[in-house]
Amino acid sequence: MSRWNVADVMTIGAVSVQEDTPFKEIVDLLEAHEVNAVPVVDAFDRVVGVVSSADLLAKIEFAGDDDRVRLFEARHTRQARGKAHATAAGELMNAPAVTVMGTTSLPAAARIMEAAGLKRLPVVDELGRIIGMVTRRDLLKVFLRSDAEIHREILAEALDGLVGVERSQMRVEVDDGVVTLLGEVERSSVVPSVVRQIERVDGVVDVVSHLSAKTEDEPRSYRAPVIS
């Protein structure tokens, strides 16, 4: 079954800066291109860091503040205070950069963003060179697939080869990405695997199963007897 990956949804090409790019030039680029972050690249276009608008705001947040070390000050606050005196990308950037490749699956990219608390990721080739950017909003493009596309993939690929499933015994309906399954399968234990397989189809919002089974083979739940 085919799956969408980052290359299917990313913005090809990316505005980037180098480590010696001045502070005000970075601000100009963010404004001109209506983006909130830019990758920092070396002379070979390899990504070495990322500068975001949050990194630049330290210049405002700590303007006129002194440089004394505060007891019990959080590490990220101390780092932000240091960036208040930065004048170029190399001093502002977060490094090393968290990146993905074009072949990275959308679920994997979403997990990376969530784990790192990021809203966007530079996309790199096998040599670490910048080829684009992908954002959280880009990942949601998979849900723009039409119901007809989803329906075709379920019938042609998702249900193909599943043991205990006869497509002629099933009816699949798709409405706004919600898949409803009707019909009959061989065994009740097959139903969870059918649902999981269809949940993996790109663009599926939810799966509602009304499948019945010719044979009930799910183990009954065991409840220990109450001893009085």
**Residue of 62 and 87 predicted with greater confidence:** 87
Strands, sheet with 178-187, edge to edge from the N-terminal-most edge strand: 170-175, 178-187, 206-215
Alpha helices in the chain (DSSP H): 6-9, 23-33, 53-61, 75-83, 89-92, 106-116, 136-139, 147-153, 191-199
Quick: pLDDT tens for 93-149.
Answer: 999 999 999 999 999 999 999 999 999 999 999 999 999 999 999 999 999 999 999
CB atoms inside a 10 Å sphere around CB 181 = 20
The ranges assigned to domains in the chain are: 6-142, 145-215
Q: Where are the beta strands (DSSP E) in 42-177?
A: 47-52, 100-101, 120-124, 130-135, 170-175
CATH 3.30.70.1350 is held by the domain 145-215: yes
CB atoms inside a 10 Å sphere around CB 17 = 23
| Residue 130 in tokens | 């910048």
* Residue 87 · residue 51 · CB < 8 Å: no
Coil, helix or strand for 18? strand
Reported as a pLDDT band with limits 50, 70 and 90, residue 84 is confident
Reported as a pLDDT band with limits 50, 70 and 90, residue 180 is very high
Average pLDDT in the 201-209 region? 96
Helix (H) or strand (E) holding 60: helix 53-61
The β-bridge relationship of strands 206-215 and 17-18 is unpaired
Residue recorded with tokens 């950037």 = 93
Residue recorded with tokens 């085919």 = 2
Average pLDDT in the 7-14 region? 95
Write out the CATH class of domain 6-142: alpha beta
pTM of the model: 0.79
**Residue of 111 and 160 predicted with greater confidence:** 111
Entry field: residues in the chain: 228
49: Cβ contacts below 8 Å, ≥ 6 apart: 19, 39, 40, 89, 90, 93, 94, 95, 96, 97
